[in-house]
A and B are shown apart, each in its own frame.
Chain A
Amino acid sequence: MVGEQEMAPPKGEPILELKDVRVSFHTYAGEVRALNGINLTLYKGEVIGLVGESGCGKSVTAATIVGLLPENGEVKSGQIIFEGVDLLKKSKKEIRNLRSTKIAMVFQDPMTFLNPVLTIGEQLREVFTIDKKRLAQAALDYDLRRLKEEERDARDEAQSAKIRARIAELEGLRGNPPLPKRRRRRHVLDSLAAEALKKMRIPDAERIITEFPHELSGGMRQRVMIAMAIARDPDLLIADEITTALDVTIQAQILELLKILREEFNSTIMIITHDLGVVADLCDRVAVMYAGDVVEFSDARGLYQKPLHPYTQGLLRAVPRLTERPTMLESIPGSVPDLIYPPPACRFNPRCPYAWDLCRQKKPELLEVEKGHYTACHLYTEGSKRPSPS
Chain B
Amino acid sequence: MPSVHGGIKTAQPFIKVVNLKKWFPITGGLFGRTVGYVRAVNEVSFEIPKGGTFGLVGESGSGKTTIGRCMLRLIEPTSGQVLVDGVDITNLKRKQMAPYRRMMQIIFQDPYASLDPRQTIKSALLEAIRASGEKPSATDAFARAKKLIELVGLNEDHLYRFPHEFSGGQRQRIAVARALATNSEFLILDEPTSFLDVSVQAQVLNLLKQLQKDLNLTYLFISHNLSVIAHMSDRVGVMYLGKMMEVANTQTIYSNPMHPYTHALMEAIPVPDPAIRHQREILHGDVPGVVNLPSGCVFHDRCKYATQKCKDEIPGLDVQAPGHEAACFYAKDLNLQPLALYQKS
Interface residues of A, Cβ cutoff 8 Å to B: 1-2, 7, 53-54, 217, 219-220, 247-253, 255-256, 274-282, 300-301, 304-305, 314-316, 318-333, 335-336
Contact = CB atoms under 8 A, between A and B. Distances in A.
A304 B230 contact: no
Given A7-B274, A247-B287, A322 B228 contact: no
A329 B251 CA distance: 18
Closest 4 CB pairs of A and B: A277-B270, A331-B202, A53-B197, A320-B231
B291 interface: no
A296 to B, nearest CB: 15
A304 B227 contact: no
16 contacts: A217-B286, A247-B59, A249-B265, A250-B286, A252-B268, A253-B283, A274-B198, A277-B269, A277-B272, A304-B272, A304-B273, A319-B202, A328-B206, A329-B206, A331-B199, A335-B169
Contacts of A324: 345
Interface string B174-209: 000000000000000000000001111111011001
A101 B288 CA distance: 36
B164 interface: no
Interface stretch (B19-27, B28-36, B336-344): B336-344
Interface in B123-154: none
Contacts of A278: 270
Question: Which residue, of B203, B230, B272, B275, has the highest number of chain A Cβ atoms within 10 A?
Answer: B272
Interface string B286-304: 1100000000000000000
Given A323-B345, A324-B345, A328-B206, 18 more contacts: A2-B277, A53-B197, A54-B197, A248-B59, A249-B283, A249-B287, A252-B280, A252-B282, A253-B284, A274-B198, A275-B270, A277-B270, A300-B274, A318-B202, A321-B231, A332-B202, A335-B167, A335-B169
A2 B340 CA distance: 14
B259 to A, nearest CB: 14
A300 to B, nearest CB: 4
B169 to A, nearest CB: 6
Contacts of A281: 270-271, 274, 277
Contact of A304 (B209, B251, B275): B275
A315 B227 CA distance: 15
Given A249-B264, A320-B228, A280 B270 contact: yes
A45 B15 CA distance: 55
A248 B226 contact: yes
Nearest to A323: B345
Contact of A301 (B224, B266, B275): B275
A7 B275 CA distance: 10
Contacts, number: 145
Contact of B224 (A248, A252, A305, A330): A248
Given A247-B59, A249-B264, A329-B206, A319 B198 contact: yes
B14 interface: no
B227 A322 contact: yes
B307 interface: no
A315 B198 contact: yes
B192 to A, nearest CB: 13
A328 B207 CA distance: 9
Given A220-B286, A322-B230, A331-B202, A248 B265 contact: yes
A89 to B, nearest CB: 35
A329 B272 CA distance: 15
A183 B152 CA distance: 69
A253 B286 CA distance: 10
Contacts of B227: 319-322
A323 B272 contact: no
Contacts of B279: 1-2
Contact of B231 (A247, A249, A251, A325): A325
A322 B274 contact: no
B9 interface: no
A322 B266 contact: yes
Question: Which residue, of B170, B201, B270, B287, has the highest number of chain A Cβ atoms within 10 A?
Answer: B270
A316 B264 CA distance: 24
Given A250-B286, A276-B272, A318 B199 contact: yes
Contacts of A305: 275
B211 to A, nearest CB: 12
Contacts of B287: 217, 247, 249
A305 B231 CA distance: 22
Contact of A331 (B206, B231, B280): B206
A322 B272 contact: no
Contacts of A322: 226-227, 230, 254, 266, 269, 271, 339, 341-342
Interface string B42-56: 000000000000000
A288 to B, nearest CB: 12
B198 A318 contact: yes
A329 B205 contact: yes
B110 interface: no
A121 B65 CA distance: 36
Contact of B273 (A280, A327, A329): A280
Contact of A252 (B283, B341, B342): B283
Contacts of A329: 202, 205-206, 231
A276 B200 CA distance: 15
A326 B206 CA distance: 10
Contacts of B230: 320-322, 325
